[in-house]
A and B are shown apart, each in its own frame.
Chain A
Amino acid sequence: MNVWGVIAKTFLHAFLICLGVVVLYPLIWMALNGFKNNAQIFGDPFALPVGWSWDNYVLAWNQGVRDYVTVSVLVTVVSGICTVLVSAWTAYGLTRTNMPAKPLLVGFVLGGLMLSPTVAVIPLVKIMQALGLYNTYWALIVLYTAFRVPFSTFLIRAYMLDLPKDVDEAAMMDGASEGQRFWRITLPLCRPIIVSCMILHVLFAWNEYLFAMIFSSGAGMQTLPVGLTLIMATHGTSYAEVFAAMTISALPIVMVFFAAQRYFIRGLSEGIGK
């Protein structure tokens, strides 16, 4: 390798490192500020905390974050399970049964991908009020499921289309019903894509803000993103506590991402590549 090659390579690595600092430093700053007190926060922003104390984290946790986390976990898990189940059923029906008018159904369900939540939000308020779900997290569970079913169905259907059908057909010859074949054969075979769907859903539901803000503003119903803005509004002057609350809500999702990176990337590449 010649001199220019070495210089170019060094330059590229330096560039990647600089960009990495730009990406990570604000997040580290956020976590560090959670350990400071207000006087330190108003001092040199680049300084490390003096006398690391978990007080702000404990305070933030007890002053609401615990409740927001509970609601967020509930909404994320329940809507995730509903989304994956409904999508797997639909994908199964569309790939493994003699259901009439399949192309029409595929178009209908996947067409939902093109419709945006923002456009639907005003009529949805009326619907949720009529159903008595307005200002409850049940509204979020229903909406997260409804708006994510098209994408998950799309992923699972693509995966099922690529699966060999012989086991399924053999089971059919042995007299297994559609239901038995779904639960015993197809669903277990689809585990990798189910996991990917679940992870993508967790990422979506944990972070969603528009619906959460409009449909679950009632006390004890707020998810973490809404709760954070509330903490900001009510404890806005004790910055350190807000930083601690932000760190607490960011950490679980970053850990989920690193733990399940492989499945996550598979889901993304399947979703976009077809």
Chain B
Amino acid sequence: MSRVTIPARNALLAGLLLLAGHCDLVAQPQEQPGRGEYVAILGDCMACHTTPGGQPFAGGVLLPTPLGDIISTNITPSVAGIGAYTLEQFDAAVRRGIRADGKYLYPAMPYTAYAQVTDDDIAAMYDWFMTEVEPSDCHPPPTELPFPFSIRLSMAVWNALFLDDQVFASDPDQSEQWNRGAYLVKGLAHCGTCHTPRTLLMREDPSRHLAGGAVGPWEAPDITSDPQTGIGDWSIEELVQYMQTGSSNRSQAAGPMAEAVDHSLRHVTEADLQAIAVYLQTVPAVSTLSQVERAVHEWGQADNELAAVRGEDLPDEADGWSGAQLFDAYCAACHQASGQGTADGAIPALYHNTATGRPHSNNLALVILQGIHRVSEGHDIRMPGFAHELNNLQVTTLGNHVLSLYGNPDAQVTLEQVQGLRYGSAQAQGQPDLMRLFRIGGAMLFVGVLLAVRLSLRKIIRT
């Protein structure tokens, strides 16, 4: 254990010196976080346990999952929250998914990742939550999943099957920096929760670590060392810049990744971000896309079809607008006439950009609908959304225009897809149909549940 925490502490101290400058950069008036708070930032507890504009950690965030909506709990030190938790109870909740009343958490709480967190980090975080976080008496409504998931004890079976409750063990053949990165990626920062694809029963597939997963309809892309589909072609500096700002020339964070940057990564020390980058560049590539013709950041070029629409009267009906006409009216003012963005990079080019270079188009369509909203000083609308201005057919037409001129021509946007994304019924592309899989898996689980209860009870008593 100390093998990890001592270098971690050193890295942390070194990083904290840098953090002051970093804080100036993002104009955060707050003081340097102490260790416990820093651990909570790395764990991004804020993302799920704080409603937008709400009291920090008071819960009530609705987390849509294939099983149904899970509502996050109050984790402030109050009667309504975790005020009565001992360190041991806190530890059991965070690292093993068991509440103080003995009930099981659903793995929307990433305890499978937090299981790797060190005792010291857990203790520091516990101290911070108990002494520094403002208590809230808010009682978020309870999570009510459909049967059989409503039986929380079913999670005992799941845990018995899938929970690796071993704390992160360093690899003595790797550098301290690499080990720090691996510890953060696998543990506190829980990157795999979104970026690792899931198996039949919602377990992160260990054979495809970080090879590309999903968050609701969003694609969480491959972040392995694959140079074509992952980050193997990125420099350490570029990865660090992306995590600090949510933006690089070839990729911009949107949706849940923008939240991860805003709540967590931009507050992380440069040393820790470098460690994360060093580790990510060693994560084995998993070829999920056979025979990739080009890297996801190499598609497209500066181009436009505006000459074809100049001098033409605009169709009266919104549905009649061509892709070039929509691009002219909605995109060209910022992304420029040929999609080249601005010279200073403040507004990105649409080509040589992973936003248009991947074979799946959900993220592109979602960004057209919702825009890119960030929590930062002054410029939180990086890109306005167009859901209130463009109908589904227009989003489809525009998306395909952008993909055909600037992106991966194999990718397509369909009307059904945009409808699903607009009304929230869509799932991520390229992932197994989790709802269907889960129905099958859930049925199997239910058959096994009675037989497994004895086993799981025994396991609970043991722990």
Indicate, yes or no, whether A interacts with B. no
| A residues whose Cβ falls under 8 Å from a Cβ of B | none
